[in-house]
Amino acid sequence: MRILLVEDERKLSGIIKRSLKEVNYAVDLADNGDEALFIAESHPYDLIILDIMLPGKDGITVCRNLRKNKNDTPILMLTARDDEEDKITGLDSGADDYITKPFSYPEFLARVRALLRRKSTGKSSRLKLADLELDQLTRKAYRAGKEIDLTPKEYSLLEYLMNNVGEVITRTMISEHVWDGDFEAFSNVINVYVNYLKKKIDHGHTKQLIHSLRGVGYILKDE
């Protein structure tokens, strides 16, 4: 899951970024409205966390522009004070949720998870392919009812694949969604991770779910 964080207060953006990276989201930063619009249009993000008070274009204007340009990425707004007006304007401009600063990180992360869930599945928090199951609430995976022990990175990778079942996934797509902008998309790093995952998911099962497409990428499918 790749998140764009738009916040101009360095200290706060550093703390938020760290808290998101700790639970293994890939995070890119923008510190003003114009940069946010540019970056949001150039990468496919899974969530945008948008502060209202920004230099240049404010968060409300950025949000309106994104929606006008048919960008439907979920947006979580950060409002500075408990200002009813700000919240209403924020939601009216197309934001999906808001949280008032200062906020507690457990609540913040819960809202982030809720928005990402809404995006990826519509309703359910469980993803399923054949006898492979992923619980997005507990971040656990099961094959044939048995829990698979995954590292946070492997979980993120599997979650991304399960959100795109039957589609060809290139290494670039994986590097954009599972890693963040700091990551150099060395394909061998991704190969190594996919191979770890393959071993854990498919080893000892007659039906293989993760398939490599030579020179192209990967596909998760039931056949």
Q: How far apart are CB 21 and Ca ion at their closest, in Å?
A: 20
- Exactly one of 23, 53, 91, 189 binds Ca ion (CB under 5 A); that residue is 53
**CB of 172: closest distance to Ca ion in angstroms?**
32
3-state SS track over the chain: CEEEEECCCHHHHHHHHHHHHHCCCEEEEECCHHHHHHHHHHCCCCEEEEECCCCCCCHHHHHHHHHHCCCCCCEEEEECCCCHHHHHHHHHCCCCEEEECCCCHHHHHHHHHHHHHHHHHCCCCEEEECCEEEECCCCEEEECCEEECCCHHHHHHHHHHHCCCCCCEEHHHHHHHCCCCCCCCCHHHHHHHHHHHHHHHHCCCCCCCEEEECCCEEEECCC
Among 5-13, 28-36, 64-72, 106-114, the segment contacting Ca ion (CB under 5 A): 5-13
Nearer to Ca ion, 100 or 164 (CB): 100
Cβ at position 66, least distance to Ca ion in Å: 18
Whole-number Å distance between alpha carbons of 105 and 119: 21
Listed residue (157, 122, 123, 165) closest to 139, CA to CA:
157
Q: Which range, of 7-15, 110-118, 182-190, 211-219, touches Ca ion by CB under 5 A? A: 7-15
Q: Tell me, residue by residue from 10 to 49, as one string, x for binding to Ca ion by CB under 5 A and - for no binding.
A: ----------------------------------------
Strands 97-100 and 75-79: parallel
The stretch among 52-60, 110-118, 157-165, 184-192 that binds Ca ion (CB under 5 A) is 52-60
Options 28, 35, 51, 133; binder of Ca ion; rule CB under 5 A: 51
Rounded to the nearest whole angstrom, what is the least distance from the CB of residue 29 to Ca ion in the complex? 13
Closest approach of Ca ion to the CB of residue 168, in Å: 40
**Nearest Cα residue to 57 out of 84, 39, 71, 45:** 39
- Check binding of 8 to Ca ion (CB under 5 A): yes
Nearest distance from residue 213's CB to Ca ion, in Å? 44
Give the total of residues touching Ca ion (CB under 5 A).
Answer: 3
With respect to Ca ion, which residue has the nearer C-beta, 59 or 217? 59
Stretch that binds Ca ion, among 3-11, 62-70, 114-122, 199-207 (CB under 5 A): 3-11
- The contact set with Ca ion (CB under 5 A) reads 8, 51, 53
